Amino acid sequence: MPIAFSQGFTPHPKISYASAAPTGVASEAEYLEIGLREPVDPAGLRAALDAALSPGLDVLDAVEATGGSLADRIEASYWRIELPEVDPKVLAEAVAAFTAAEEIQVERMTKQGRRTFDARAAVVTIDAMAPAETPSGAAAVPCAILELVVRQVTPSVRPDDVLSGLRAVAALEPPVTPKVIRLAQGTLTAQGEIVDPLEADRDGATIGER
């Protein structure tokens, strides 16, 4: 593809990720922008990229971006956290304590060193799913499910920060490493729903990747 490169002594392809997912989490809603030297057919570009990527990295859509940077359209993310060996009732009680708190301070190591910030304010919605909605698997082992919508703020509040907040307010300690999946990201409605950030560009080079 006719990808554009930056100027200078060490040119780099013009590719930027919008709110890339943290290391170690799964995602079904990643977006990136690619700068091109000339116009191309978005459908052909999507097919070429999808064929070149490893199995499991599926390019779902490609559109011509308009109206400014994609990063400016990412206001929130929708996450699902599976907590094996955690009783759903215990999670529900922890979520109630989290929701009732006005502020929950957590610590995380960042590039600027260890920082303390509020993990509560960025969480728009947080819900513990009922046992009937537990995914299929070993029936004898409980698996609590946490779903949450988190605003894009600075410093960013990640799913592990929310788990740290649950630990702080309710002593919730998952015995098994949680499985974290980003299900959606985009603009945030007044009802707390996530809207596809490329919706306005469907006829129009921004890439949607899973």
pLDDT per residue over 167-176, tens digit each? 999 999 999 9
Share of the chain above pLDDT 90, in %: 60
Split at pLDDT 50, 70, 90, the class of 210 is very low
Residue 85's CB: how many other CB atoms inside 10 A?
A: 11
The model carries a pTM of 0.84
- Would you say residue 165 has pLDDT above 90? yes
Whether pLDDT at 126 is above 80: yes
Predicted pLDDT at 134: 46
**86 Cβ neighbours under 8 A, 6+ residues apart:** 142, 143, 144, 172, 174, 175
Preceding omega of 155 cis (within 30 degrees of 0): yes
Domains recognised in the chain with CATH numbers:
15-72+196-209 (no CATH), 73-188 (3.30.70)
Indicate the average pLDDT of the chain: 87
Q: What percent of the chain has pLDDT over 70?
A: 90
Average pLDDT over residues 130-151: 72
Listed residue (33, 168, 21, 19) closest to 105, CA to CA: 168
Question: Does 88 or 68 have the greater pLDDT score?
Answer: 88
pLDDT, tens only, 26-67? 999 999 899 999 999 999 999 999 999 999 899 999 988 876
Query: What span, in angstroms and rounded, lies between the C-alpha atoms of 14 and 6?
Result: 6
In the structure, what pLDDT confidence band is assigned to residue 90 with cuts at 50, 70 and 90?
Answer: very high
